[in-house]
Amino acid sequence: MINDGSTDNSAKIAKQMGCRVISYKQSMGRGYARRTGVVEALTPFILFCDSSNIITSDFTEIALKQFRDIKVSACFGRILNHESLSDCLSEWRGQHLFHQSKKFRQDIHLVDCLITYTALLNREHVLNVGNFNPKLKQCEDQDMGRRLIENNFKIISDPQLVSYSLRHETLSSLFTRYRRWRSQNNDEKNIFSELFLDLKISYLIFLREDYNKKSYKLVIISLILPFFLFGQRLISLSRR
């Protein structure tokens, strides 16, 4: 276990469970922690899974079948809200981030990106392309996916693989997740062009879907989104 500066009892619990724990006093970021995890791992395959997600007991068994092709580097599926979640923030996340209402491809297929909310990776391939970038605080999985594909490795999506999110979002955490997912390692240097893009996505896509579903609470969230993110970027710039 890589304890990346956590302030709860995660490291203590892991040690009690017999895990080997590597701890940092302060958070080094997602890229740094994942890079260390890959180096320290002793197995040929590594399962990445967000702590707020749960998976079925046969997830790895199903995913491993795809690695019979020696060019496959990663395999993942889709993510859904857990059935216990019914609040409007979870509903917005399911609609616009998880795309739960849209038809998901039912065939096993190649994809051009890597998403690691729950994914099985070939450790040797990850090391072959230079491992995770330790400088990246976010979007480290998109960066890894790009390098895997550039080196002619394959990333697979399997519809049988499903993870369920148990996370209760706040408005801030929801919009931060959206920003991270959309950024694709974009430096977001021009905050006004980012605002314009967020307005287009929110008002031309999200609002239309919310209105057609008559989900007026979701309409309000979609209206707020671009301006909330603009404020976040202004604060980030002021701290540099």
pLDDT tens digits along 75-128: 999 999 999 999 999 999 999 999 998 888 999 999 999 999 999 999 999 999
Q: Same structural domain for residues 31 and 49? A: no
- Above 70 in pLDDT, residue 193? yes
Q: What's the confidence (pLDDT) of residue 98?
A: 96
Q: Same structural domain for residues 49 and 106? A: yes
CATH number at residue 90: 3.90.550.10
Q: Same structural domain for residues 192 and 144? A: no
Q: What's the confidence (pLDDT) of residue 185?
A: 47
Q: Does residue 176 lie within any of the structural domains?
A: no
Q: Same structural domain for residues 65 and 160? A: yes
Give SS3 for 232.
Answer: helix
Q: Does residue 181 lie within any of the structural domains?
A: no
Q: Same structural domain for residues 63 and 141? A: yes
Q: Same structural domain for residues 158 and 218? A: no
Q: Does residue 34 lie within any of the structural domains?
A: yes
Q: What's the confidence (pLDDT) of residue 108?
A: 97
Q: Does residue 177 lie within any of the structural domains?
A: no
Q: What's the confidence (pLDDT) of residue 180?
A: 84
Average pLDDT, the chain: 93
Q: Same structural domain for residues 88 and 16? A: no
What digits encode the pLDDT tens for the residues 119-176? 999 999 999 999 999 999 888 999 999 999 999 999 999 999 999 999 999 999 999 9
Domain end call among 26, 42, 58: 42
Which span out of 48-52, 99-103, 218-222 was modeled with the highest average pLDDT? 218-222
Cα-based distances in Å from 31 to 3, 106, 141, 155, 156: 13, 32, 8, 19, 22
Q: Does residue 179 lie within any of the structural domains?
A: no
Per-residue pLDDT averaged across 58-69, rounded?
Answer: 97
**Residue type at 159 in one-letter notation:** P
Q: Same structural domain for residues 130 and 232? A: no
CA–CA gap between residue 86 and residue 19 (Å, rounded): 35
Q: What's the confidence (pLDDT) of residue 95?
A: 96
Q: What's the confidence (pLDDT) of residue 209?
A: 95
Q: Same structural domain for residues 66 and 6? A: no
Full residue range of the structural domain in which residue 191 is found: 187-238
Number of domains into which the chain is organized = 3
Q: Same structural domain for residues 157 and 193? A: no
Q: What's the confidence (pLDDT) of residue 184?
A: 58
Q: Does residue 49 lie within any of the structural domains?
A: yes
Q: Does residue 8 lie within any of the structural domains?
A: yes
pLDDT band at 186 (very low <50, low <70, confident <90, very high): low
Q: What's the confidence (pLDDT) of residue 188?
A: 57
Q: What's the confidence (pLDDT) of residue 239?
A: 80
Q: Same structural domain for residues 7 and 108? A: no
Domain end call among 165, 196, 218: 165
Q: What's the confidence (pLDDT) of residue 7?
A: 87
pTM: 0.88
Q: Apex CA 42: angle with CA 73 and CA 27, to 5°?
A: 85
Q: Does residue 225 lie within any of the structural domains?
A: yes
Per-residue pLDDT averaged across 20-36, rounded?
Answer: 93
Q: Same structural domain for residues 104 and 12? A: no
Q: What's the confidence (pLDDT) of residue 80?
A: 97
- Above 60 in pLDDT, residue 215? yes
Domain end call among 107, 131, 165: 165
Q: What's the confidence (pLDDT) of residue 28?
A: 93
